[in-house]
């Protein structure tokens, strides 16, 4: 198989394989391992503040002299209204009660204790650190940020979950489009937070390929030769690998979370907004079943900030029933080897069978 294409040329990598930016899982060590394997490492910055972003970028730079992407959330921040304040208070009380009933003692933050960060301060750090590749999700960058990053020579990678979103990204001159199928693990990259597109990955990939001229990275269910080559046949230039790395040596998941992954069954994977207020795919558990269809789900990022302390407390107790374990629909063996070995084995497997 010839790996050299528009993606490898644009990103200056040997293999068009992208390590997915999985916030809470990805570590600087994972990013460096992927980049050092001549793939593209992706550092998940989510909605961290500028100081935290700077720390992670600098740590990653210490581990590799290869380029890597940084990934940010470009969501809109809801206005704090009295209605939101009231709902937040009720949700806080309900979740604290649920936690106590399950032997988790936790005091969740009040709405006035929550700091919500805009991606604009992240853009300034990214430019100051001379990061030349930025991927983003939950929408599109505003025009000013696009121009600011492009004037710094930054390659922009936007996420779509529909043809409509792909066309918006291309129209605003985003360099590369990442097509995310519904089977992909983690948060949906949809521009909207309600009535999200639920389109199968390969169906969406083929339609986006017919609709745009931009290079395409495909994310969703790639874990072996067959799935990678199927994505290539349908028009993908690059291949994003996420769930395959969840159990890797560099993963930030704790041992009890990795054990839960190893015992995973296909009917335990679900789409939920209970933890963060935005839809994400992961393992169904007690928290999801109690909250998903209740009145106690706030808009992102307030639900995400509110449940953060609960998840932290559950992790201390090794309690998988109250943590978010994001994973895609394709179940693999979840190798414990290093990220570099997992990616190199995938590359060798593809070359051997094609």
Q: Are 161 and 183 in contact (CB under 8 A)?
A: no
Is 331 contained in some domain? no
| Same domain for 182 and 54 | yes
Maximum CA extent, the chain = 61
Is 36 contained in some domain? yes
> What is the structure's pLDDT at 194?
86
| Same domain for 262 and 240 | no
Burial of residue 67 (CB within 10 Å: 0-12, 13-18, 19+) is: middle
| Same domain for 309 and 220 | no
Taking the CA atoms of residue 320, residue 325, residue 331 and residue 335 in that order, the dihedral angle to the nearest 10 degrees is -80
Is 90 contained in some domain? yes
CB burial readout 234-262, b (16+ within 10 A) else e: bbbbbbbbbbbbbbbbbbebeeebbebbe
| Same domain for 282 and 263 | yes
CA distance linking residue 62 with residue 83, whole number of Å: 46
| Same domain for 259 and 204 | no
Is 242 contained in some domain? yes
Is 185 contained in some domain? yes
| Same domain for 220 and 131 | yes
Residue 87: give the domain boundaries: 79-115+254-324
The pair of three-digit structure tokens given for residue 101, joined into one six-digit string: 């009933």
- pLDDT per residue, tens digit, the chain (354 aa), is 799 999 999 999 999 999 999 999 999 999 999 999 999 999 999 999 999 999 999 999 999 999 999 999 999 899 999 999 999 999 999 999 999 999 999 999 999 999 998 899 999 999 999 999 999 999 999 999 999 999 999 999 999 999 999 999 999 999 999 999 999 999 999 999 888 999 999 999 999 999 999 999 999 999 999 999 999 999 999 999 999 999 999 999 999 999 999 999 999 999 999 999 999 999 999 999 999 999 999 999 999 999 999 999 999 999 999 999 999 999 888 999 999 999 999 999 999 987
| Same domain for 162 and 134 | yes
| Same domain for 89 and 11 | no
The pair of three-digit structure tokens given for residue 4, joined into one six-digit string: 């050299």
**Residue 29: Cβ within 10 Å count:** 20
Residue 41: which CATH number? 3.20.20.70
| Same domain for 110 and 22 | no
The pair of three-digit structure tokens given for residue 187, joined into one six-digit string: 């948060």
The pair of three-digit structure tokens given for residue 113, joined into one six-digit string: 């204790």
- The number of folded domains in the chain is 2
CA distance linking residue 133 with residue 67, whole number of Å: 8
CB burial readout 290-301, b (16+ within 10 A) else e: bbbeeebbbbbb
| Same domain for 340 and 319 | no
Is 121 contained in some domain? yes
| Same domain for 296 and 172 | no
| pTM greater than 0.85 (yes/no) | yes
| Same domain for 181 and 193 | yes
Is 330 contained in some domain? no
CA distance linking residue 350 with residue 30, whole number of Å: 22
- Helix (H), strand (E), coil (C) string for 301-354: CHHHHHHHHHHHHHHHCCCHHHCCCECCCCCCCCCCCCHHHHHHHHHHHHHHCC
Locus of tokens 């930016």: 21
**Residue 193: Cβ within 10 Å count:** 19
Is 329 contained in some domain? no
9 Cβ partners below 8 Å, 6+ apart?
A: none
Q: Are 255 and 320 in contact (CB under 8 A)?
A: no
> What is the structure's pLDDT at 354?
77
């Amino acid at each position: 198989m010839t790996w050299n294409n528009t993606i490898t040329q644009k990103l200056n990598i040997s293999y068009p394989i992208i390590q997915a930016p999985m916030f809470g899982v990805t570590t600087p060590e994972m990013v460096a391992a992927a980049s050092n394997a001549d793939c593209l490492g992706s550092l998940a910055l989510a909605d961290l503040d500028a100081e935290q972003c700077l720390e992670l970028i600098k740590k990653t730079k210490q581990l590799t002299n290869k380029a890597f992407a940084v990934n940010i959330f470009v969501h809109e921040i809801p206005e704090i209204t009295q209605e939101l304040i009231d709902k937040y208070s009720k949700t806080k009380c309900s979740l604290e009660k649920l936690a106590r009933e399950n032997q988790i003692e936790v005091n969740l933050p009040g709405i006035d204790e929550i700091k919500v960060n805009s991606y604009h301060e992240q853009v300034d750090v990214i430019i100051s650190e001379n990061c030349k590749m930025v991927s983003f999700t939950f929408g599109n960058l505003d025009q000013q940020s696009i121009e600011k990053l492009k004037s710094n020579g930054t390659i922009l990678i936007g996420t779509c979950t529909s043809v409509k979103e792909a066309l918006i990204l291309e129209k605003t001159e985003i360099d590369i489009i990442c097509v995310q199928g519904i089977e992909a693990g983690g948060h949906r990259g949809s521009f909207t937070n309600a009535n999200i597109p639920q389109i199968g990955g390969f169906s969406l990939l083929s339609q986006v390929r017919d609709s745009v001229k931009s290079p395409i990275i495909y994310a969703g269910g790639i874990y072996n030769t067959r799935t990678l080559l199927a994505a290539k046949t349908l028009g993908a230039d690059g291949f994003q690998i996420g769930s395959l790395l969840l159990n890797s040596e560099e993963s930030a998941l704790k041992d009890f979370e990795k054990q839960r992954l190893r015992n995973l069954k296909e009917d335990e994977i679900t789409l939920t907004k209970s933890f963060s207020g935005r839809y994400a795919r992961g393992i169904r558990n007690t928290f999801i079943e109690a909250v998903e269809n209740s009145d106690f789900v706030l808009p992102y990022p307030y639900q995400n900030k509110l449940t953060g302390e609960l998840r932290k407390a559950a992790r201390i107790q090794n309690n998988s029933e109250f943590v978010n374990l994001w994973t895609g629909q394709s179940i693999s063996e979840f190798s414990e080897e290093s990220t570099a070995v997992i990616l190199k084995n995938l590359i060798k497997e593809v070359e051997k069978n094609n």
